[in-house]
Structure 1
Amino acid sequence: MKKRDTRQRRAIRQVFLDAARPLTPEEVLERGQGEVPSLGLATVYRNVKILTEEGWLTEVALPQDGMRYELASRPHHHHFVCRTCDQAFDIHQCPPSVEEIAPAGFRVDDHEVILYGSCPACA
């Protein structure tokens, strides 16, 4: 069943199209309220779930952190988390030869790299 394209869903989609990094539902709410002031957190959660089920968004699970979301169409990449402002940012390259750092005899099928530190605004 196709979901209705509501004003709230359009605003949420636009938030993700404008974002250059993974967002928490709270960040989506804050940005989305600029377009739809009555937007609520429950509506954000519901629509993020729908957009994820439809394959438009993907989940970004960061250790010790709540779930974040980003466009599913993005190519493979990694993340940097600022420990001061708690924002996540994209890293646009993979470390060279991740296979070389795996234990001897192990085969790497996939990998995820997460860097932690301070973003330029917090440094």
Structure 2
Amino acid sequence: MLQADCESVFEETCSGMLPLADRSGLIEVLGELHPGDTLVVCDVARLSRSFLCLAMVLSDLQKRDVKLRVLNQPREFTSLDQMLDQASHDLNTLKRLDHSRHIKRGIALAKKAREQAA
């Protein structure tokens, strides 16, 4: 965030899966934004892992003329369509990675159970 030349840095340690009402850090940063500001996040999943919640946040940003910059993306998003397209792609990628981790964990547990049974 320092390299992104941010004026203020907010940190939130809770899960992006929580409802917006339970995310005091995100609520605080959204309250600090003004028209013309740019919200900078490391990854779009930091805003939310729920597409519906993310769409609500992105819609709010657009209505208030706040741009979104995602550090792991090469461009700044200025339209809701751009934001949602990228967010959908990123969330689907996260789901695939989570699914892959669950499969690998299941395989490892099955191998361990087989070894213990032998």
Tell me the TM-score normalized by structure 2: 0.27
Instruction: Pick the structure with greater CA Rg.
Output: 2
Tell me the TM-score normalized by structure 1: 0.26
Greater strand proportion: 1
